């Protein structure tokens, strides 16, 4: 199993384990090689199960302790109270818990993965922030759920993982207008593109701003570009540009260590 990339900020915490996994170290084949997490029509159930088992094993936990959701690019945040896996995957784009020995896991292929931890309330979260979720401010919704259950936003540590960067993320005028109408300041995260109807979007920059606005003080950004680094990452936008209808997802995950365990 290939070790995942890690945040320096979160790595200082001995009460959690976390990782932004690359596309390497799994069993998937072809365009999905090799640690694919996406339920693509061309992927086998056996490959997906083995890839998830390998991620779980890196945490020294079982696949039953790996929690995934059906991500729908919304702003639904799921509070996890029970130390057991789901039956059918619920629809959500963020997970929050205080339960140890669970792996909160989200999957991305250009969208922004965010891992959060409050060492004082011993609470963790995993967030999937694509542009639609960012427009709906899933960051704010996640921090609101964490605060409801006892976290202080000023104590929450955040790590922004590998995602698409501005130089590779061109969007159309209508998307730009949606953000501008939602919050005029958000328009500052766009640069004029090749013509008046195209813009380059700094999605991770906006996500960082949303975390700061939510009250967070310590934010780490790994600054890895999924589009540009094909060796390590799947990219939906790169696949589109190549007219490939197959693309994979990489995993990003965090787990609370049991109290007293190091």
Mean pLDDT for the stretch of residues 212-225: 98
Q: What is the spatial distance between Cα 48 and Cα 107, in angstroms, rounded to a whole number?
A: 12
- Residue 258 has what pLDDT? 72
Q: What is the spatial distance between Cα 254 and Cα 51, in angstroms, rounded to a whole number?
A: 16
Say yes or no to pLDDT of 261 above 50.
no
Mean pLDDT for the stretch of residues 193-221: 96
What's the CATH code of the domain at 57?
3.60.140.10
Q: Nearest 5°: phi and psi at 224? A: -105, 135
- Residue 82 has what pLDDT? 75
- Residue 256 has what pLDDT? 98
Q: What is the spatial distance between Cα 103 and Cα 49, in angstroms, rounded to a whole number?
A: 15
Mean pLDDT for the stretch of residues 112-135: 98
**CB atoms inside a 10 Å sphere around CB 41:** 7
Mean pLDDT for the stretch of residues 238-244: 97
CA 171, 174, 178, 183 torsion-angle sign:
positive
The model's pTM: 0.97
- Any domain includes 172: no
Q: What is the spatial distance between Cα 53 and Cα 71, in angstroms, rounded to a whole number?
A: 20
- Any domain includes 70: yes
- Any domain includes 117: yes
- Any domain includes 173: no
Of how many residues is the chain composed? 262
- Any domain includes 108: yes
What total number of domains does the chain contain? 1
Say yes or no to pLDDT of 260 above 60.
no
Mean pLDDT for the stretch of residues 159-168: 98
- Any domain includes 177: no
pLDDT tens-place string over residues 63-88: 999 999 999 999 999 999 976 656 78
Domain that holds residue 150: 8-165+202-256
| Residue 94: Cβ-neighbour burial (10 angstroms; 0-12, 13-18, 19+) | buried
- Any domain includes 196: no
């Amino acid at each position: 199993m290939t070790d995942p990339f890690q945040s320096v900020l979160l790595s200082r915490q001995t009460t959690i384990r976390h990782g932004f996994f690359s596309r390497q170290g799994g069993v998937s084949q072809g365009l999905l090689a090799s640690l694919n997490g996406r339920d693509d029509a061309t992927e086998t159930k056996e490959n997906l199960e083995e890839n998830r088992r390998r991620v779980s094993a890196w945490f020294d936990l079982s696949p039953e302790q790996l929690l995934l959701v059906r991500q729908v690019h919304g702003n639904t945040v799921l509070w996890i109270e029970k130390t057991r896996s789901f039956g059918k995957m619920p629809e959500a784009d963020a997970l929050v818990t205080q339960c140890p020995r669970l792996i909160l896991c989200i999957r991305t292929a250009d969208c922004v993965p965010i891992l959060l931890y409050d060492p004082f309330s011993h609470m963790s979260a995993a967030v999937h922030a694509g542009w639609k979720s960012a427009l709906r401010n899933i960051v704010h919704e996640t921090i609101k759920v964490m605060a409801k259950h006892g976290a202080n936003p000023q104590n929450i540590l955040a790590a922004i993982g590998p995602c698409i960067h501005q130089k590779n993320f061109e969007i159309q005028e209508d998307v730009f207008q949606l953000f501008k109408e939602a919050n005029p300041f958000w328009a500052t995260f766009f640069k004029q593109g090749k013509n008046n109807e195209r813009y380059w979007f700094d999605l991770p920059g906006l996500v960082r701003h949303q975390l700061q606005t939510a009250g967070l003080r310590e934010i780490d950004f790994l600054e890895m570009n999924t589009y540009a680094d094909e060796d390590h990452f799947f990219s939906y936008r790169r696949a589109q540009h190549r007219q490939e209808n197959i693309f994979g997802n990489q995993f990003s995950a965090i787990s609370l260590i049991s109290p007293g365990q190091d």
